[in-house]
Amino acid sequence: MSKITFLGAGSTIFVKNVLGDTMLTTALQGFELALYDIDPVRLKESETLLTHLRDSIGSTCTITTYLDRKEALRGAKFVINAIQVGGYDPCTITDFEVPKKYGLRQTIADTIGIGGIFRNLRTIPVMLDFASDMQEVCPDAWFLNYTNPMAVLTNAMNTIGGIKTVGLCHSVQVCVPHLFDALGMDHNGVESKIAGINHMAWLLEVKKDGVDLYPEIKRRAAEKQKEKHYDMVRFELMNRFGYYVTESSEHNAEYHPYFIKRNYPELIERYNIPLDEYPRRCIEQIKHWEERRDAILARETVQHTRSHEYASSIMEAMVTNQPYKIGGNVMNTGLITNLPNEACVEVPCLVDASGVTPTYVGDLPPQLAALNRTNINTQLLTLEAAKTLKKEHIYHAALLDPHTSAELSIDDIVNLCDDLIEAHGDWLPKFS
Amino acid sequence: MSKITFLGAGSTIFVKNVLGDTMLTTALQGFELALYDIDPVRLKESETLLTHLRDSIGSTCTITTYLDRKEALRGAKFVINAIQVGGYDPCTITDFEVPKKYGLRQTIADTIGIGGIFRNLRTIPVMLDFASDMQEVCPDAWFLNYTNPMAVLTNAMNTIGGIKTVGLCHSVQVCVPHLFDALGMDHNGVESKIAGINHMAWLLEVKKDGVDLYPEIKRRAAEKQKEKHYDMVRFELMNRFGYYVTESSEHNAEYHPYFIKRNYPELIERYNIPLDEYPRRCIEQIKHWEERRDAILARETVQHTRSHEYASSIMEAMVTNQPYKIGGNVMNTGLITNLPNEACVEVPCLVDASGVTPTYVGDLPPQLAALNRTNINTQLLTLEAAKTLKKEHIYHAALLDPHTSAELSIDDIVNLCDDLIEAHGDWLPKFS
Amino acid sequence: MSKITFLGAGSTIFVKNVLGDTMLTTALQGFELALYDIDPVRLKESETLLTHLRDSIGSTCTITTYLDRKEALRGAKFVINAIQVGGYDPCTITDFEVPKKYGLRQTIADTIGIGGIFRNLRTIPVMLDFASDMQEVCPDAWFLNYTNPMAVLTNAMNTIGGIKTVGLCHSVQVCVPHLFDALGMDHNGVESKIAGINHMAWLLEVKKDGVDLYPEIKRRAAEKQKEKHYDMVRFELMNRFGYYVTESSEHNAEYHPYFIKRNYPELIERYNIPLDEYPRRCIEQIKHWEERRDAILARETVQHTRSHEYASSIMEAMVTNQPYKIGGNVMNTGLITNLPNEACVEVPCLVDASGVTPTYVGDLPPQLAALNRTNINTQLLTLEAAKTLKKEHIYHAALLDPHTSAELSIDDIVNLCDDLIEAHGDWLPKFS
Amino acid sequence: MSKITFLGAGSTIFVKNVLGDTMLTTALQGFELALYDIDPVRLKESETLLTHLRDSIGSTCTITTYLDRKEALRGAKFVINAIQVGGYDPCTITDFEVPKKYGLRQTIADTIGIGGIFRNLRTIPVMLDFASDMQEVCPDAWFLNYTNPMAVLTNAMNTIGGIKTVGLCHSVQVCVPHLFDALGMDHNGVESKIAGINHMAWLLEVKKDGVDLYPEIKRRAAEKQKEKHYDMVRFELMNRFGYYVTESSEHNAEYHPYFIKRNYPELIERYNIPLDEYPRRCIEQIKHWEERRDAILARETVQHTRSHEYASSIMEAMVTNQPYKIGGNVMNTGLITNLPNEACVEVPCLVDASGVTPTYVGDLPPQLAALNRTNINTQLLTLEAAKTLKKEHIYHAALLDPHTSAELSIDDIVNLCDDLIEAHGDWLPKFS
């Protein structure tokens, strides 16, 4: 019997999506679905929901739960990771509130930016503990990472952890449908090519029957941009840099020095930027779950239709050897020729029994490579900090961050880092 | 209406296979199948057979014939190439008979070796004429090359011709089935990974349910090797270098300095090497066709089941955007990290609406990379000769050829090249 | 007789330094020193001074002047370039005054930054005209470029112009002496290793008798930084990023988003940043020359001691084949492994009869590579604009500029570019 | 006081040359010259000669001798290596006599070929012991390697041993003088560019006053080739491949499949190939030393003029920081772009206080890269055998050797390897 281990299985709704997909997949019937979380209550809740779901579907998968991580991982063929270290309270609160004292405003803080840096620093040690356990009990398993910040964590698992890891984000597969829906265009039969880095990958080609659809997209986008809507940052990026980016406007607002600027307070309104969006979502999600939990867990018949998450299709392709194509996060072994080789990139990958094999992309248009490089700078320095445990590299990561460095002085950036280190307390390893 | 142009359509049986597959493919219905050949008689024969086949299948494809090449290519979406320049008589006869005067014996002469070098030299100019026409009348078409020598011709089309070209050879897809059949093993559910150069690609992994099958393969191969059979060269290569190679024993016998040796005449018998195999096959094939042609062309009902050739599946994947995996010949843009970047390599490729996208392989085991490099040496120098039209580079190609240089002295190699240039007459461009 | 052509020979004082050095070099005696400038008056002045100098020295070099550029270049063995396109008035005034309307303040504007971008855009076409002439009348000559912006112009001459070009800047050779003088340390016998990009190259190693001197340097620098001095920006960069940078504080103030910040007006005072330094220097230099010109040109006996400029030593090494080491600007053919290959880098080079041969550096410390990449982004996009003549790439260059993007909004950046294009008038080619 | 350690100091004459040069070098006065050898008698002889030499010169260097290797190395700034493992008797005898039983004839056997492979296999473990000691007692010392086979040993010291190593061979510096002398041409003022791999580096450029001298060289060489002389193999290589090679004809005769061929016995005479040259030289050298030893060691006044060996000039350049140019053997970090990165290459290097810094070469002409690759194949597989201690990689190295594989069958090659392993006995580590 084969085993799929889910780390962070207390995220009940996400577990339901990914393992519900799995239960609906013929090739994965009979697998053990091993749930692991540090929170026994939430683990139990996930078990309950999944059991109802399994019985509703009629899947032959078995569901087990573990509070011992190594036992959860032992013998796994696939490991799916969706942990969050430090949670909304206290860590997300810290990520947003401490920078605010310096006037530094954020929207999501899960990728780069000062919040993304610290999210990485507290998550990497936990991930490397996973890697260490896996080296012992399931060294050949594939690690499907859903945890953010995607690029740095996937890089750490591959290069430090030595585990076969692919980073997965649904921003790739929803990019074209969401764009086309927003513009009133039909995306059926549309072919696209996407590459770059996670959350800043580029829609390099978008065609139907060989015809480039960008002129029509840009025409409609310019029209739509005349009034307020929820994707104004991305449309502006496309307007200025020529290509649409995979991640949402609220994310991209903080990846660049262009949108949240103290010198230009009117831009928040102009680009409709939802400051503090992520903590707001967290609060709502927690509230929503608390209100509906009992009802959800009581229902014995649970519906599920296969979602757009890649995980079950990846496992299916590896088991059946039927080729499947994903946009995956992998090490840049010369794939995108004008981005650093040390970076983790998001490129089309072929999945089959040989695993996840990335494809060759070549050069990005120079302006897109340049934008990616500004973010890779912070990513690589964050990784350096995690590897060396030297505080100076945390400062470097923050000093190179496009938004942070545009807004704050060197002294404020360094002090902010020190404050965040202190506020994190034991959520961070000791830096010297 | 979309158009598929077939160059060298006088190869009636091969055309039937590839375009028969096409007619059986739903996504390719309604395409124009444009047949081109320099021989009007054979072109007519192919048209007759294909028309019978089309009607038998009930395909909605249309069949057209062209003696004007540029008109055949105009507006094509796909171009399939299966030409042979110079044919059996006179060129294959030349390839074998002139070297024989120097004591140099060959088996196939379609890849490297002295015969492979000259086959390239007479074919490249014709291919570049195709490229030149295509730049004018169908610059975005994909060129699916079946003509040998695969590696050099595909290289020339991509780097000199500037045409999107993938080289296709069925040795990849039949590699595992043939090996397993020969050893009495079942290849159902077997996963494999193959990479290298055309005709010398390596079965790097062969597993079932995660279990390495090489130990069992090698055990049975050693047993079988005790008596005479038809794959003795490859089994010996596997025995000594650890991996099975894609192309047959009669081919591989002449890619190395190990098998056809004047100092060791007994090896011919020992490894069961069919010297002069290719001309013998040509004669038989011609005789066979002449005997059966009238009967074949008279039959109005023609059967066809989809073959293992990649072409129709590639076109289907590009049209439907359903991913398909092939072993394709492409430029080595850092894909196989221990082979030269200037080489054309055979690697797993993803095919979909974005075209043929090669995947990353990394380092080959060092002994396999070394063997490939000995053949790439001759390939790259042949290409240099074709590009510069300098005779000295023909000598270099022959002097670096592993079999030729093992057998002959420098003087004999140079004289042999001169004799072959003279014997070719107008089949070659002028070299200085 | 061999010939050295000096382009922009109207810069009388600089010509005196470089060609004075030449006249003092034994191996270069008898050379023709061909002076070219578009300004006949200044050309005549340089001729007068150089003739006096030549006679004072007793050199056998001949001095000729040309207003016809192609004749000046014909048959040259070396071409030294020190032109300035557009001069102080009008172009430098434009570079500083137009951005000021948007609140964008600069210090030097000759490298990157909005001023550096436009200085490139108006200079590249003139440089490529040089290249075009040279292809005709002296294709094998070495081009020794002193004109700024160094990195982009040297890149353009090599990759578009196809001329063997090395970029020369004395910031490399004065780096250690100036630093040691400032700190009251003795630089005799000190060994150093410097690499990076022009004006942002890094003192990677600084040792005496194998002992790392950085701890002492940093100790003294921290002490000195307590009071106001003229190198505060560089000391702060060393403090935060760990390494000393080659170019001066007034230059580096505008290469980063850290020093000239509208949100932090106090930083100008704190780091002692001389805003508008370059135009101030231009005015003083012009005034100084006008006041002293007649006296200088009247003196028939002129003194010269060999300066620290590389040019005469480079020519000497090429002529004598005695190896000489420089810090030169060359294309990054894998030399600095964590900077883009498309960039022009400043690395140790070996000069001898084989020309200027760059040496291998490997990876820079990650924070230094990251800082370099932020500037390379703007450099490469500026080059893209010059190559394609597309306005959008000018916007990209400015949008990626670290200082510009930190200070201004997208709209202001785009409008500023448009204003600068208009203000330049015929000093720029037409962009579409 | 600084220390230079000489490993293999029993090679009295070579020690005299290299350390005599050192004693004549002002910047190296006062250094300790630490002599180490496993043979106390020869060590004593070297000490005697060097002491006489030191006193004759009046150098302030001190001379010490060590039989304890780690003490000899402790605190060294430079380590010069000239060991030979196994000596003439028994190992060189083995290298020549065992292959002879299979009809495999050699000339020198110190580079590649079956003899070169085994010379590597018995030397690498000793070298790695040096590296291990050095990591402990002088980790920052530069290792100047004179021991052959140069390419593989230098590769092993750098990549496995982790010691800063440059490989030195005087074939680079004598290449042009010897060629010009042989052809009656004057080499004064001649500039040359040499790159490739050790013993097969190429005279890529040879010019005087900018004029290519190759046409005249080739004209004279063709004339000279009409009668018998001592450099016929190299002249033939130049004739056919267009470039002169650094190492002598007797060496190059066995690097290729062209010259020692059982099928063409007349080539030995035709190319004047001195079979068994190396053992003959060994015997003469031993006899010569025995006859003259007492007289040499008795003389108290010893003459020495600085030789063409690089070592003392390298140490001088590192100590004085005066740049010096050598042709050195270093790892191919992208320096020669069409040779494998794993290879050790011979390229121009800059030496100064920063150490030995290799320069960028780019692509070799394709035929030269191809010839180098055939030798690199054997080098890399030999290294693989030494690293993995797997017998199969010894077979691979021999099977890929151009001369061995041209002459022998697979079975004979494998049996020959087995015989050589057995004949070596404890001179080799255990392979499985």
Listed in sequence order, the residues at least 6 apart from B249 whose beta carbon sits closer than 8 Å to its beta carbon are B230, B231, B232, B233, B234, B235, B271, B272, B273
What is the end-to-end Cα distance of chain D in Å, rounded? 47
Active-site residue (options: B170, B178, B187, B304): B170
Distance of CA D341 to the CA centre of its chain: 20
Classify the C-alpha dihedral B144-B145-B146-B151 as positive or negative. Answer: negative
Residues on chain C touching D207 (C-beta within 8 angstroms): 353
Query: Is the pLDDT reported for residue B1 higher than 80?
Result: no
Nearest CA in chain C to D204: C354
- Between CA A199 and CA A233 the distance in angstroms is 13
In chain A, residues with a C-beta closer than 8 Å to the C-beta of B333 are 334, 337, 360, 362
Measured distance CA(D2)–CA(D12) in Å, rounded: 22
Nearest CA in chain C to A343: C338
Query: Is the sign of the CA dihedral D240, D244, D250, D252 positive or negative?
Result: negative
Taking each helix axis from N to C end, the angle separating B366-388 and D366-388, rounded to the nearest 10 degrees, works out to 180
Is pLDDT at C100 greater than 70 in this prediction?
Answer: yes
Measured between alpha carbons, how far is D60 from D28 in angstroms, rounded to an integer?
Answer: 9
The residues facing A344 across adjacent strands are A331
% pLDDT > 70, chain C: 100
Residue B221 falls in which region: left (phi positive, over 0), alpha (psi -120 to 50) or beta: alpha
Residue type, C267: L
Q: Residue A33, Cα to own-chain centre: how many angstroms?
A: 22
Give the span between the Cα atoms of A135 and A148, in whole angstroms: 22
CA distances (Å), A168 to each of A144, A172, A349, A387, in order? Answer: 7, 9, 11, 23
Residues in A touching B335 (Cβ below 8 Å): 360
The whole-number pLDDT of residue C1 equals 61
How far apart CA C164 and CA C152 sit, in angstroms, is: 15
What does each C-alpha distance from A288 to A263, A292, D423 come to in angstroms?
A: 37, 6, 80
- Model pLDDT for residues B325-384, shown as the tens digit of each residue: 999 999 999 999 999 999 999 999 999 999 999 999 999 999 999 999 999 999 999 999
Domains belonging to chain B, first-starting first, are 3-167 (3.40.50.720), 368-427 (no CATH)
- Cα–Cα dist A185/A208, whole Å: 12
pLDDT of residue A210: 87
Q: Which residues contact A222 (CB under 8 A, 6 or more apart)?
A: A239
SS3 content of chain D, % helix, strand, coil (to 5): 50, 15, 35
Chain A / chain B CB contacts < 8 angstroms: 66
SS3 at position C82: coil
Q: Is C414 on the interface with A (CB under 8 A)?
A: yes
Ordered alpha helix ranges (H), C303-365: 311-320
Instruction: State mean pLDDT over C60-78.
Output: 97
Query: Helix A150-159 to helix A366-388 angle, to the nearest 10 degrees?
Result: 60
Q: What are phi and psi of A323, to 5 degrees?
A: -60, 140
Q: What is the DSSP letter of C243?
A: S
Q: Residue B346: which of B164, B143, B194, B242 has the closest Cα?
A: B194
CA pair distance B411, C285, nearest whole angstrom: 72
Which residues of chain D, if any, have pLDDT below 70?
A: 1
- The predicted-structure confidence for A72-120, as pLDDT tens digits, reads as follows 999 999 999 999 999 999 999 999 999 999 999 999 999 999 999 999 9
Residues of chain C above pLDDT 90, percent: 99
Pick the residue from chain A with its C-alpha nearest to B354.
A193
How far is B313 from A306, CA to CA, in rounded Å? Answer: 27
Listed by number, the residues of chain B in 331-390 with a beta carbon closer than 8 Å to a beta carbon of chain A are 333-335, 337, 348, 350, 352-354, 357-360, 362
Closest residue to D399, CB basis, from B240, B267, B408: B240
Q: Is the distance from CB of B2 to CB of B79 less than 8 angstroms?
A: no
Task: Please tell me if residue A327 touches chain B, with a CB cutoff of 8 Å.
Answer: no
Contact flag A258-C409 (C-beta cutoff 8 Å): yes
Is it the case that residue B312 has pLDDT exceeding 90? yes
Q: Answer whether 0.90 is exceeded by the pTM.
A: yes
- Mark the ranges of chain A whose per-residue pLDDT is less than 70: 1
Q: Using CA coordinates, name the residue in chain B closest to A332.
A: B360
Q: Which of C323, C334, C359 sits opposite D324 (nearest CB)?
A: C323
The pLDDT-based confidence of C210 (bands split at 50, 70, 90) is: confident
Element (H, E) at B35: strand B32-36
The answer to whether the complex's ipTM is over 0.95 is yes
Residues of C tagged active-site:
170
Report the 10 Å Cβ neighbour count for B367: 24
Considering only CB atoms, which chain D residues are within 8 Å of C360? Answer: 333-335, 357-360
Determine the pLDDT at residue D66: 97
Alpha carbon of residue C407 to chain centroid = 25
Which of C83, C78, C4 shows the shortest CA–CA distance to C43? C83
Q: How far apart are CA B154 and CA B150, in angstroms?
A: 6
pLDDT digits (tens, 9 = 90+) for C170-190: 999 999 999 999 999 999 999
Whether residue B79 contacts residue B141, with contact meaning beta carbons closer than 8 Å, is answered with: yes
CA angle (A317 as vertex; A313, A321 as ends), nearest 5:
170
User: CA of C228: how far to CAs of C222, C242, C270, D20, in Å?
Assistant: 12, 21, 8, 55
Structure tokens at C137: 């009348």
Task: Please give the structure tokens belonging to residue C277.
Answer: 């330094």
Asked if residues C386 and C124 have their Cβ atoms less than 8 Å apart, the reply is yes
Pick among A240, A337, A379 to test the C interface (most C CBs inside 10 A): A240
Beta bridge partners of C90: none
Main-chain dihedrals φ then ψ at residue A350, nearest 5 degrees: -95, 130
Q: Is D52 a catalytic residue?
A: no
- Give me C11's structure tokens: 């810069």
Q: What angle do CA C106, C111, C112 make, to 5 degrees?
A: 70
- pLDDT > 90 fraction of chain A, expressed in percent and rounded: 99
Rg from Cα positions in chain C = 21
Type and span of the H or E element at C196: strand C190-197
Question: CA C281, CA B296: separation in Å to the nearest integer?
Answer: 91
Helices vs. strands in chain A: H and E counts, helices first:
17, 12
Query: Which one-letter amino acid corresponds to residue B31?
Result: F
A374, C263: Cβ pair inside 8 Å?
no
Measured CA to CA, the distance from residue B92 to residue B109 in angstroms comes to 8
DSSP letters, B338-405, are TS-TTSEEEEEEEEETTEEEEB--BPPPHHHHHHHHHHHHHHHHHHHHHHH--HHHHHHHHHH-HHHH
Whether chain B has a CB inside 8 Å of the CB on D238: the answer is no
Six token digits for residue B49: 């057979």
Q: Are B430 and B424 in contact (CB under 8 A)?
A: no
**C-chain residue closest to D318, CA distance:** C191
Asked if D339 contacts D153 with a C-beta cutoff of 8 angstroms, the reply is no
Residue ranges with strand state E in D44-96: 62-66, 78-81
What H or E segment, with its residue span, contains residue C122? helix C113-137
D365 secondary structure, DSSP code: P
Contact D350 C323 (CB under 8 A): yes
Cis peptide bond N-terminal to A348, omega within 30: no
Taking the C-alpha atoms of residue C205 and residue B212, their distance in angstroms, rounded to an integer, is 50
Q: d(Cα B370, Cα B376) in Å, to the nearest integer?
A: 10
Q: With an 8 Å Cβ cutoff, is C428 touching chain D? A: no
Of B261, B384, B409, the CB nearest to D409: B261
Q: Which of D371, D376, D431, D422 is nearest to D98 (CA)?
A: D422
Give A210's contacts in chain B (Cβ within 8 Å): 140
Residues in A closer than 8 angstroms to B337, CB to CB, are: 333-334
